[in-house]
Chain A
Amino acid sequence: MKHFIDTIKSTYGKYKVIVWIICSLLLLIFPALIPSNYVMGVVCRILFYATLAGSLNVINGYSGQMCIGHAGFFCIGAYIEAILATQYHINFWVLLLVGGIITAIIGGLIALPTLRMQGIYLSIITLGFSEVVRLIALNWTSVTGGAMGVKGIKSPTLLGFTLSSPKQYYYIFLVIGIVFIFVTNRIINSRTGSAWISIREDELAARSLGIEIKKYKILNFMYGAFWAGVMGAAYAPYTRYIDSTYFSLDEGFNILSMVIIGGQGTLIGPILGAAVVNSLTELLRSFSEWRMVAYAVLIIAMMWLRPQGLVGASDSVLAGDKMKKKKIKVLAKEEK
């Protein structure tokens, strides 16, 4: 196995440029290769959730805070787009940014009073926040349409073209996803990123090094919320109709399950998580209720065997001493 991985790595190293060109080309012409609109729809969902789960991973995976009400941020972004686009006819591309920024500000406001709380308490607050947002969406009828939701959300246009089918929307989700990965990667590898990671790894140590815990936790929350807002704004015109049922706690757990299964604390983790969970959803569609049981079992197994997720950060507190034990086992075997 190790040999196999090494072979792949060295081959990749040799043909790096070619691999990249081929991958980019494949991604570019992908919709042309897939005739089925149904499959394209699933691909779009994977791309979409990859970024949404990625934004949650910034919070849970990189700074070690435990947000489980991510659907709330997603909801805010979606309603901002839906309302401003249908009532004030503001441009979709502008609304992407507006949705992100407003959601980020709200994220900051949520983070502020919860700073002193840790672990499960922060989780409960974010859970409550998510429900409050959903209830506002459901009951503030004059603005959100209440139970009727917002209908007829316009598809975005670009250079005169209307982007509405999954084949076209694929490119929107792809570009947003690439920008997200690019920007997040740069931040993670910067002073800000290492401050986040140091808080995750050992908050006491981080404080002793002069790292402003509060500032960086808020910044982290805002950054994660920003991208959830952007994804909400991108999502509303994709479905063309939203109502509060889209943003239930179930949706929050859905996003969370992708992060937990795919892996926390790495950029690739949530992408894999989105692919695995959404593919499973399709495969198990005919088993309806049992599907949720399958997820639950998968998540429990994951937390038990590999708490950092399939491709999560193995060298971190996320993996805990699980990895260490394994290492010792390996060493013991080698000694024999």
Chain B
Amino acid sequence: MGTLLETQNVCKYFGGLKAVENVDMKVEKGDIFGIIGPNGAGKTTFFNICSGFYAPTHGKIIFNNNDISGVSPDKIARLGMARTFQNIQLFKYMSVLDNVKTGFHIKTESTMTDAILHTNRYKKDKEYVNEKSIEVLKKVGLSKYAETKAGNLAYGIQRKVEIARALALDPTIILLDEPAAGMNPNETDSLREFIKQLNEDGYTIVVIEHDMKFVMRSCNQILVLSFGQKICEGTPEIVKADEQVHQAYFGKGIIAGKGLQ
């Protein structure tokens, strides 16, 4: 299938703090790729580097055969990478529909002049966005919330809206930062189904998640970070069996082995 997203020796230092240190990753097309690690391991920072929000201190990021190290987020989004945030960044005072509509920005191109003169390009864009955003909401199963203010929705649904908005970019890869945080077990189960479905629809997915069961069941490849460094990468079986992973999560000995079953 080929590699879609690759990092080589990526580092990010905040002053003396090595938040991410020499991380290599290879995400293949069609993967559901999990990133796990204890709190403060550098997972979110790593995502921010991949999506252009931080420039790496060292190292290289290659996406779809483009070197995107230090490239701005808007350019990376245009290359086909979408993301969500750990602390949900919705336009909370806008309706769900308007949130998704805003996501179509890079899929349209009418200018200020088009808007003033109401040219054909302007009208076409409007029509396209209206049609497509309804389509996206339907696909994600949020049609009934179309007119609801995003900030008034339950946590779990907000996370889904954020994913819907990301889908508007028509990305090839989606980075999800703890999509199950704040969800109850039922919601988590349906989220897993949903992510599987997205993957079957052709999206490559990279997901940061604390919920071990979730990761072990959903992902075909897993990267484990601890104190900024990669301590393990491989299939769920390999990660489950890895001694260092157990140590990172549970310390040496004692209750090791229990949590990963």
Which residues of A approach B to under 8 Å, CB–CB?
A: 183, 186-187, 189-195, 198, 201-202, 204-213, 219, 223, 315-317, 319, 324
Contacts and interface: CB of A to CB of B under 8 A. Distances in A.
A307 to B, nearest CB: 13
B179 to A, nearest CB: 15
Given A202-B89, A202-B91, A209 B114 contact: no
B84 to A, nearest CB: 8
A86 B67 CA distance: 57
B89 A210 contact: no
Given A201-B91, A202-B90, A315-B93, A211 B116 contact: no
Given A208-B73, A209-B106, A186 B118 contact: yes
Contacts of A213: 74
B115 A210 contact: no
28 contacts: A183-B116, A186-B116, A189-B115, A190-B122, A194-B105, A198-B102, A201-B91, A201-B94, A202-B89, A205-B91, A206-B102, A207-B73, A208-B53, A208-B77, A208-B85, A208-B166, A209-B77, A209-B169, A210-B73, A210-B77, A210-B78, A210-B105, A210-B106, A211-B106, A212-B74, A219-B112, A223-B112, A324-B151
B119 to A, nearest CB: 11
A204 B89 contact: yes
A212 B103 CA distance: 13
A184 B120 CA distance: 19
Nearest to B83: A208
Q: Which 10 A-B pairs have the closest CB atoms?
A: A210-B77, A190-B115, A210-B106, A205-B89, A201-B91, A315-B93, A207-B73, A210-B74, A212-B74, A192-B112
Given A208-B166, A209-B165, 20 more contacts: A183-B116, A187-B115, A187-B116, A191-B108, A192-B112, A194-B101, A194-B102, A201-B93, A204-B53, A207-B53, A207-B73, A207-B74, A208-B82, A208-B83, A209-B77, A209-B103, A209-B105, A209-B169, A223-B112, A315-B93
Nearest to A316: B93
A192 to B, nearest CB: 5
Contacts of B166: 208
A191 B125 contact: yes
B152 to A, nearest CB: 9
A219 B112 CA distance: 9
Contacts of A190: 110, 112, 114-115, 122
Contacts of B106: 209-211
B149 interface: yes
B66 to A, nearest CB: 15
Nearest to A207: B73
A194 B92 CA distance: 14
Interface string B179-193: 000000000000000
A59 B108 CA distance: 23
Contacts of A202: 89-92
B51 interface: yes
A191 B116 CA distance: 11
Contacts of A192: 111-112, 115
B100 to A, nearest CB: 10
Contact of B115 (A186, A208, A316): A186
Nearest to B76: A210
A205 B110 contact: no
A202 B90 CA distance: 7
B112 to A, nearest CB: 5
B73 to A, nearest CB: 5
A20 to B, nearest CB: 20
Nearest to B175: A208
Contacts of B122: 190
A187 B75 CA distance: 24
Contacts of B103: 209
Contacts of A193: 115
Nearest to A194: B102
A210 B109 CA distance: 12
B102 A209 contact: yes
Which residue among A193, A202, A316 has the maximum number of chain B CB atoms within 10 Å of its CB?
A: A202
B171 to A, nearest CB: 10
A137 to B, nearest CB: 30
A29 B94 CA distance: 41
A193 B106 CA distance: 14
B126 to A, nearest CB: 8
B133 to A, nearest CB: 12
Contacts of B73: 207-208, 210
Contacts of A195: 105
Nearest to A223: B112
Nearest to A219: B112
A111 to B, nearest CB: 16
B105 A211 contact: yes
A220 B44 CA distance: 32
B234 to A, nearest CB: 29
B102 to A, nearest CB: 5
Contacts of B112: 187, 190, 192, 219, 223
Nearest to B95: A315
Nearest to B151: A324
